[in-house]
Amino acid sequence: MYLKKLVPFVTICLVGVLLSCQSESDVLYPENEILAPTLAAKNLVKVKRVRQALDLGLAGEFAILSQSGVTDVYPSIITGDVGSSPITGAAILVTCAEVEGTIYSVNAAGPLPCVVNSATRLTTAVGDMGTAYTDAAGRSNPDYLELGAGNIGGFTLEPGLYKWTSPLIIPADITISGGPEDVWIFQISQTLIMSSAVRITLSGGAQAKNIFWQVAGAVTLGTTSHFEGIILGKTGINMLTGATSNGRMLAQTAVVLQMATITQP
């Protein structure tokens, strides 16, 4: 009789030990991510992933960097460097007076008298831009998948990795909330459209330099809208009349400005 009572007890204990071992072995450390597990009462507790920022390399020294040129409806205001490669400087249509920084070209063409011929610098920067785009697109295990079904108007976005396979629209104001060291990476497989007069607001010390928007399709920022963060665009980036941005426009095709304002973070 004693043995019959003892056997179920021993079985339960063994199952508990096995489950405890499994819960620890299941903790993964994906590439490009850091997990911060802690021990509490001898049980392993999973803590939210801390994402690593993208390394922009030399591309991180440009407010605007494109491969197909920069078009402009005067006047725009650009605080930071501007460059385009491999297309010639003739495709950089901003004026010297609109840029508080250096305008780089692969040849002697471009806005005079301020254009600087630096093909080597631009080749490196464009290469770094492509590497950063690939890194952003390749980050795995998103914290948020298809949030809002592609409509994030009115949302408050915490730090993390976000992924959408649909177009992303921002039809109403949003807030990006987190600390000064936190990182946001937004993977967008199609287009990104921000409506006119809509604003992105940062709170809690969040910094635009740690916010990355990787967009495969075209980006359109509506009239008088305000954007925060670094856009890595595979297609075009369009800033409509009066749009402003605290960030960088890094495009594998063209950047189009219409009396827009860009300030690098």
pLDDT at 50 (0 to 100): 79
Residue 103: name the closest of 80, 129, 75, 87 by CA.
80
Residue 57: name the closest of 125, 104, 136 by CA.
125
Both 149 and 239 in one domain: the answer is: yes
Reading phi first (left if > 0) and then psi (alpha if -120 to 50, else beta), residue 16 is in alpha
Give the mean model confidence (pLDDT) for residues 146-171: 98
Residues 6+ apart with CB under 8 A from 186: 162, 164, 168, 211, 212, 213, 214
Domain count, the chain: 2
Q: Which amino acid is at 78?
A: I
Domain hosting residue 67, numbered range: 57-263
**Cα 146–150–152 angle (5° rounding)?**
105
Domain end call among 51, 72, 89: 51
**Rounded Cα distance, 201 and 216, in Å:** 24
The count of residues in the chain is 265
Both 123 and 105 in one domain: the answer is: yes
Which pLDDT band holds residue 102 (cuts at 50, 70, 90)? very high
Residue 65: name the closest of 87, 42, 96, 37 by CA.
87
Residue 192: name the closest of 150, 161, 223, 158 by CA.
150
Both 98 and 7 in one domain: the answer is: no
CB 226 within 8 A of CB 208: no
Both 122 and 178 in one domain: the answer is: yes
For the residues of 33-48, what is the DSSP string, one character each? EE---EEETTEEE--P
- What is this structure's pTM? 0.83
Both 39 and 124 in one domain: the answer is: no
Q: Summarize pLDDT for 220-242 with one digit per residue, the tens.
A: 999 999 999 999 999 999 999 99
Both 12 and 132 in one domain: the answer is: no
Q: Summarize pLDDT for 24-72 with one digit per residue, the tens.
A: 333 333 444 433 333 333 333 334 577 999 999 999 999 999 999 999 9
Both 114 and 226 in one domain: the answer is: yes
Which residue has 């385009």 as its token pair?
84
Both 176 and 61 in one domain: the answer is: yes
Both 118 and 206 in one domain: the answer is: yes
Both 152 and 132 in one domain: the answer is: yes
Residue 176: name the closest of 211, 226, 145, 149 by CA.
211
Domain end call among 11, 35, 51: 51
**Cα 160–162–166 angle (5° rounding)?**
175
Both 99 and 73 in one domain: the answer is: yes
CB 249 within 8 A of CB 232: no
Both 188 and 206 in one domain: the answer is: yes
Domain end call among 51, 67, 89: 51
